[in-house]
Structure 1
């Protein structure tokens, strides 16, 4: 019986030759616009690079357009978002907002709610510190996201994790730390009422 030579297995493409997605192109467009706003490139050059970015098919083609620009405004390097409940409470979301790599929520007297359900986040992880204090902290994450809550101190008020471990590829992991304090901290997926609102008004 004659053995047939095995076919060579396909070799993975170098990372620079990988096909770029719409999100990849949009991230470069955002970086170019930031650079123009800071005076790093003039408007003519911005127009040229934006046109090239929208036509780019690979990561390598996109990388050339930003190789001479610093990445000062990436989400990882943004300053932490600090929310303090104060007397009247504080919230972020459920509208679209820019997610930094680090969020601090202090319940204060009025409580804090952090709602990630409508955000577009390219980070692989988001560090969230939550402190229940006199009023609680509620964190709402999309169904596709997951949370690591092993660093939470239940405090006096108690800590409640109602999230599921199911996490879709490409979505962030919320790494939650802090203390539930006197009023408690809750992390969960959207409630039935919130889901109904998301379905009825998905664009805002």
Structure 2
């Protein structure tokens, strides 16, 4: 009577969806950011997650992680104040950042960070001093929800995004000072090459 029907399969043999693969990728990135797995392990597990076909392929990749990997929902708040504020060099990048230009301006430079997060949410309020955001080549930005304000908003980034790089989701207003997001300029590239050569 069951001729032509496939045999029942166990749950671990069920096929996984794109969303389920992405959920595991996000969990692994979070675990790496928390120091639970190192970058070598992360790369190996990400390869397996992205190529997983069944639940049996996915399950071992997070089996040694806590049932719920905690995610810090508090954003990093950076205020330009009167004298300005800069984040550059090697710094720990959280998933959410709120930047306020104040009178002195804010600069966020991601070019020397080693960020494995799939996404970084940045709220940028240019205020009087303005905000400059510099992202490495290969990172991409989604800026459709930015309001130019009086000072304007400028997006000089390219849309090409390399695999395993963060997507910057930028919201906020240019205020009076404006907000700019861009890749490194020629001077910054030369400086970075000198630093790498030391």
> Considering the TM-score relative to the shorter chain, is it more than 0.5?
yes
2:153 maps to 1:159: yes
SS at match of 1:120: coil
Matches of 1:28 and 1:109 in 2, distance apart? 33
Which stretches of structure 1, 4 residues or more, deviate above 3 A after TM superposition? 13-16, 56-62
Q: TM-score, normalised by structure 2?
A: 0.69
- Root mean square deviation, CA, Å: 3.2
Distance 1:180 1:104 in 2: 13
Structure 2 unaligned segments of length 5 or more: list them: 1-14, 22-27, 49-57
Q: Shift of the alpha carbon at 1:67?
A: 3.8
Alpha-carbon deviation of 1:65? 2.5
Partner of 1:71: 69
Per-residue CA deviation, residues 60-117 of structure 1 (Å, 9 max, x unaligned), is: 555333246x522x5xx25201110001001111x12221111111000100001111
Q: Equivalent residue of 1:27, what SS?
A: helix
Structure having the higher Rg: 1
How many residues are paired up?
Answer: 161
User: Unpaired segments of 5 or more residues in structure 1?
Assistant: 1-12, 17-22, 34-52
1:145 to 116, 139, 143: 139
Native 8 Å contact 1:154 1:180 kept in 2: yes
The normalised TM-score by structure 1 is 0.68
Instruction: Give a deviation string over 1:26-53, Cα, whole Å, max 9, x none.
Output: 92992279xxxxxxxxxxxxxxxxxxx7
Q: How does 1:66-145 map to 2 (within 5 A)?
A: 66-67=65-66, 70-72=68-70, 74=71, 77-93=72-88, 95-145=89-139
